């Protein structure tokens, strides 16, 4: 029979999996809806004075004239309203996550995400034809969705030590791909009839998960006892308290310092800068596929919107396998950076093979945003301060989100010149991601060869 502590750990994995699945589920519909050129979604930007004014401003700033022949650029604007807000907000979200109860923080984030996702879809029923309205909704949704990632990683990190972290988080991180798949399938049901429901239904789902979070999430096993514990080391069996109950399990050494760390101190943790910049280019590739793959399939293979959305899920299926493989390999070898580098290097020439590319790109992406973030957030240089985890996670994912914003924008600008040029851009990003890890890979190889003692960064 499972101990109380093990049951709590299992429930945390399950709940946080559901929570972040709903976050990604609510982000996906726009990539499906943009495929359907038979709906009025593509036309909302070409009616109404507000839209005309917005397009004129865009022409003035970017020198690009918006018309029916380059509607991809319009969608690039809409995508980046979300992604730029997400990237900026992420750098602050981790600091809030360290200082606020994670249960309340996550619950509020999911409820607000549900509201803004539903408001986007309600524009269809309210007959709103303003680019400004939809862009504002995207900006607000991008900001509130930054509550998700630092909080769920911190929750999982609070309950699991370092030993099998790569494998556990590799399996757990499949929520990203599961959310994308479910979001594609749900949006595909409504896209050709009433695209507003493609957003309203995911909005209701993430609202429901926010309610679940408020009532059932136990953010750490020491929250009632007032103790805090780091995540990297194991000690002999001692008694611990979980919501008032006593459980005898292997626990970590009690932290000596529990104050929230500064942004600059988090940046000085060895490896944070390299992995952050690597993730920038990895997320550039992943999010370009996330937002543009259905449209690419529709244009090249001449599929209908629903079929293109269903086909695009192959990339996410590969991502599930890739995340698990990356976690297993990095646990076995102890080489987080080398695992990421090799997978990204192999991914570069395979960007047109959806299943393989999804695994090879999303594997390192999953590893960096989960196990690597947790490792660095509990690095020995912090001397037991486990409260750095949320800030470090936010820095790494926030930097990656800059790439997530750049990828769809560049795809929107480049795709009118030919989809081959978009793939050349993605290949270049993969190569740059590999180069940014070269110093860490070199240190890992030295350690394997016995040239240096156990690496500290």
Tokens of 292: 């543009």
> What CA–CA distance (Å, rounded) separates 217 from 15?
7
Query: Considering the chain, what percentage of its residues have pLDDT values greater than 70?
Result: 75
Residue 377 above 70 pLDDT?
A: no
CB of 288 closer than 8 Å to CB of 352: no
Domain ranges of the chain: 4-448
Tokens of 2: 């499972």
pLDDT at 17: 95
pLDDT tens figures, 387-437: 567 778 888 888 988 888 888 778 878 888 888 898 889 889 988 988 988
Please give the CATH number for the structural domain made up of 4-448: 1.20.1250.20
CA dihedral 222, 228, 229, 230 (to 10 degrees): 130
Residue 84 above 50 pLDDT?
A: yes
DSSP 359-419: HHHHHHHHHIIIIIHHHHHT-GGGTT-GGGHHHHHHHHHHHHHHHHHHHHHHHHHHGGG-H
Query: Considering the chain, what percentage of its residues have pLDDT values greater than 90?
Result: 18
DSSP 2-65: --HHHHHHHHHHHHHHHHHHHHHHHHTHHHHHTT-TTSGGGGGGGSSHHHHHHHHHHHHHH---
Residue 41 above 70 pLDDT?
A: no
Residue for token digits 């559901």? 18
pLDDT, mean of residues 49-67: 44
pLDDT, mean of residues 213-229: 66
**Residues sharing a CB contact under 8 Å with residue 288, sequence separation 6 or more, in sequence order:** 407, 408, 410, 411, 422, 425, 426
pLDDT, mean of residues 181-187: 89
DSSP 213-268: HHHH----TTTTTT----SS---SEEEEEETTEEEEEE-PPPPS--SPPPHHHHHT
Give the rounded distance of the alpha carbon of 402 from its chain centre.
Answer: 12
Q: Output phi, psi for 248, to 5 deg.
A: -100, 105
Residue 20 above 90 pLDDT?
A: yes
pLDDT at 250: 41
| More confident: 161 or 42 | 161
Tokens of 146: 């930054």
> What CA–CA distance (Å, rounded) separates 170 from 181?
17
Residue 359: how many CA atoms within 13 Å on its side-chain side?
A: 12
Please tell me whether residue 162 adopts helix, strand or coil conformation. coil
pTM of the entire predicted model: 0.72
Q: Please give the mean pLDDT across all residues of the chain.
A: 76
pLDDT at 156: 83
Which range has the worst mean pLDDT, 34-48, 102-116, 329-343, 421-435?
34-48
- Band of residue 122 on the pLDDT scale cut at 50, 70, 90: very high
| CA distances (Å), origin 243, targets 6, 13, 215, 447 | 14, 17, 14, 42
pLDDT at 378: 61
pLDDT at 208: 97
pLDDT, mean of residues 175-197: 86
Q: Which residues pair with 245 in a beta bridge?
A: 242
pLDDT, mean of residues 48-60: 43
Please tell me whether residue 270 adopts helix, strand or coil conformation. coil
Using DSSP bridges, classify how beta strands 237-242 and 245-250 pair: parallel, antiparallel or unpaired. Answer: antiparallel
Residue for token digits 């022949």? 69
| More confident: 338 or 252 | 338
> What CA–CA distance (Å, rounded) separates 56 from 66?
8
pLDDT at 306: 72
pLDDT at 85: 92
pLDDT at 209: 97
| CA distances (Å), origin 201, targets 25, 119, 122, 316 | 10, 11, 11, 21
């Amino acid at each position: 029979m499972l101990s109380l502590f093990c049951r709590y750990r299992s429930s945390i994995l399950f709940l946080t999996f559901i929570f972040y699945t709903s976050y990604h589920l609510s982000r996906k519909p726009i990539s499906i809806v943009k495929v359907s050129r038979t709906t009025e979604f593509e036309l909302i930007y070409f009616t109404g004075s507000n839209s005309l004014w917005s397009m004129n401003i865009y022409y003035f700033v970017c020198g690009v004239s918006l018309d029916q022949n380059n509607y991809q650029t319009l969608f690039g604007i809409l995508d980046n309203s979300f992604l730029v807000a997400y990237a900026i907000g992420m750098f602050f979200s981790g600091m809030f996550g360290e200082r606020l109860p994670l249960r309340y923080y996550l619950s509020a984030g999911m409820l607000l995400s549900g509201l803004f996702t539903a408001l986007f879809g309600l524009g269809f029923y309210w007959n709103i034809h303003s680019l400004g309205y939809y862009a504002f909704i995207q900006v607000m949704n991008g900001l509130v969705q930054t509550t998700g990632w630092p909080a769920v990683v911190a929750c999982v990190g609070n309950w699991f030590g370092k030993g099998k972290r790569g494998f556990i988080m590799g399996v757990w991180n499949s929520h990203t791909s599961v959310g994308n798949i479910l979001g594609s399938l749900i949006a595909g049901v409504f896209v050709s009839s009433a695209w507003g429901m493609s957003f309203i239904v995911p909005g209701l789902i993430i609202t429901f998960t926010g309610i679940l979070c408020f009532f059932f999430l136990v953010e750490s096993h020491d929250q009632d006892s007032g103790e805090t514990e780091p995540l990297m080391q194991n000690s002999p069996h001692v008694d611990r308290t979980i919501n008032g109950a006593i459980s005898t399990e292997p626990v970590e050494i009690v932290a000596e310092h529990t104050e929230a760390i500064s942004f600059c101190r988090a940046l000085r943790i060895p490896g944070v800068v390299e992995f952050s910049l690597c993730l920038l280019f990895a997320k550039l590739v992943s999010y370009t596929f996330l937002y543009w793959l259905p449209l690419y399939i529709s244009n090249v293979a001449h599929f209908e919107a629903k079929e293109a959305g269903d086909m695009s899920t192959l990339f996410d299926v590969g991502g599930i396998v890739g995340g698990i493989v990356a976690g297993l390999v990095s646990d076995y070898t102890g080489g987080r950076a080398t695992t990421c580098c090799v997978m990204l290097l192999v991914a570069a020439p395979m960007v047109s093979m959806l299943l393989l590319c999804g695994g090879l790109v999303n594997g390192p992406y999953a590893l960096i945003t989960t196990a690597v973030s947790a490792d660095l957030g509990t690095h020995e240089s912090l001397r037991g301060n486990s409260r750095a985890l949320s800030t470090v996670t936010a820095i790494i994912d926030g930097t990656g989100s800059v790439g997530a914003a750049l990828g769809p924008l560049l795809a929107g600008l480049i795709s009118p010149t030919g989809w081959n040029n978009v793939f050349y851009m993605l290949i270049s990003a993969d190569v740059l991601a590999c180069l940014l890890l070269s110093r860490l890979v070199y240190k890992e190889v030295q350690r394997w060869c016995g040239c240096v003692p156990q690496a500290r960064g």
